[in-house]
């Protein structure tokens, strides 16, 4: 559950009128929304015309501080959910209690909702084999899901304008984008202008749903060490993981200042 911040200077305005069910705060100058229920917040956003959902963790926060373009995208997003334990911890230090909302779980909930209510869904990203298997698995899991566009992320540069035009003219209700940070966020911001529906970057979710990668066991999630499982699976990520202690140190220094 989210509670009111003790620091009145922590609240910052959102890109539009804030969602009534959420409170917009900042973590190291990057927006984060404290919402009692991430799915309810996403559905409220869809009901008022749609917008962009960003799933914020410690690593993305540090990248956004170094890359102004990504920081600007996050500030314009209508909903920024605390995907990582580090962001939840940083909000807790501001006196805000909020549950971690993994982006992969929110995206799965949105797909289930999309099937129930007849939303039109677009999927963009991942490799060609992953997209192929993903579509098979989604058809098994959600046989009534209306997938109006599904394209992998390894397209030739010349192919993207037609894909983008198809997305904008088709106006799907839900667009899940797995192009990696920050491309999925910057690409979504550019394309969603004037468009209805929800646009959400989902990182490696397509890989997990297709079975090409495994998500950390639930017990590791409870202990907030999913990052360790990902590092074991992908040792090449070790440089990126250096952002975690840097994030923690920056939060501690900020609160002492």
Can you state the angle between helices 58-66 and 243-256, rounded to 10 degrees?
80
Q: What are the Cα distances from residue 77, in Å, to 15, 42, 239?
A: 7, 12, 27
Radius of gyration for the chain, computed over Cα atoms and rounded to the nearest angstrom: 18
Please report the pLDDT score of residue 13 as a whole number: 40
- Displacement of CA 89 from its chain's centroid (Å): 18
pLDDT at residue 254, as a whole number: 84
For residues 214 and 33, the answer to whether their CB atoms sit within 8 Å is no
Q: What is the pLDDT along the chain (257 residues), one digit of tens a residue?
A: 443 333 333 444 445 566 878 999 999 999 999 999 999 999 999 999 999 999 999 999 999 999 999 999 999 999 999 998 899 999 999 999 999 999 999 999 999 999 999 999 999 999 999 999 999 999 999 999 999 999 999 999 999 999 999 999 999 999 999 999 999 999 999 999 989 999 999 999 999 999 988 665 665 555 455 655 565 566 555 455 667 889 999 999 986 55
pLDDT at 7: 39
The pLDDT, as a whole number, for residue 1 is: 44
Map out the domains of the chain as residue ranges: 32-257
Residues in the chain: 257
Residue 170 has φ and ψ, to the nearest 5°, of -75, -25
Both structure tokens of 241: 């993981």
Q: What is the pTM of this model?
A: 0.85
Estimate the crossing angle of helix 85-92 against helix 243-256, to 10 degrees: 10
């Amino acid at each position: 559950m989210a509670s009111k911040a003790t620091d009145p200077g922590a609240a910052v305005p959102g890109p539009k009128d804030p969602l009534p069910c959420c409170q917009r705060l900042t973590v190291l100058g990057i927006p984060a929304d404290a919402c009692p229920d991430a799915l309810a917040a996403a559905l409220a956003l869809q009901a008022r015309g749609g917008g962009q959902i960003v799933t914020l963790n410690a690593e993305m926060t540090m990248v956004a501080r170094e890359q102004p373009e990504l920081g600007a995208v996050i500030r314009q997003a209508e909903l920024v959910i605390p995907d990582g334990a580090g962001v939840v911890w940083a909000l807790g230090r501001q006196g805000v209690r909020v549950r971690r909302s993994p982006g992969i779980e929110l995206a799965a909930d949105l797909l289930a909702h999309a099937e129930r209510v007849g939303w039109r869904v677009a999927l963009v990203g991942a490799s060609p084999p992953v997209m192929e298997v993903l579509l098979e698995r989604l058809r098994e899991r959600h046989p009534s899901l209306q997938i109006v566009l599904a394209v992998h992320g390894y397209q030739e540069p010349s192919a993207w304008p037609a894909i983008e035009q198809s997305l904008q003219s088709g106006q799907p209700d839900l667009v899940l984008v797995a192009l990696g940070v920050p491309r999925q966020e910057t690409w979504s911001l550019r394309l969603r202008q004037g468009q209805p529906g929800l646009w959400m970057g989902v990182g490696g979710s397509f890989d997990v749903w297709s079975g090409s990668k495994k998500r950390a066991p639930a017990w590791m999630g409870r202990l907030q060490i999913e990052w360790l499982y990902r590092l074991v699976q992908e040792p090449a990520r070790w440089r990126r993981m250096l952002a975690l202690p840097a994030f923690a140190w920056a939060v501690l220094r900020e609160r002492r200042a």
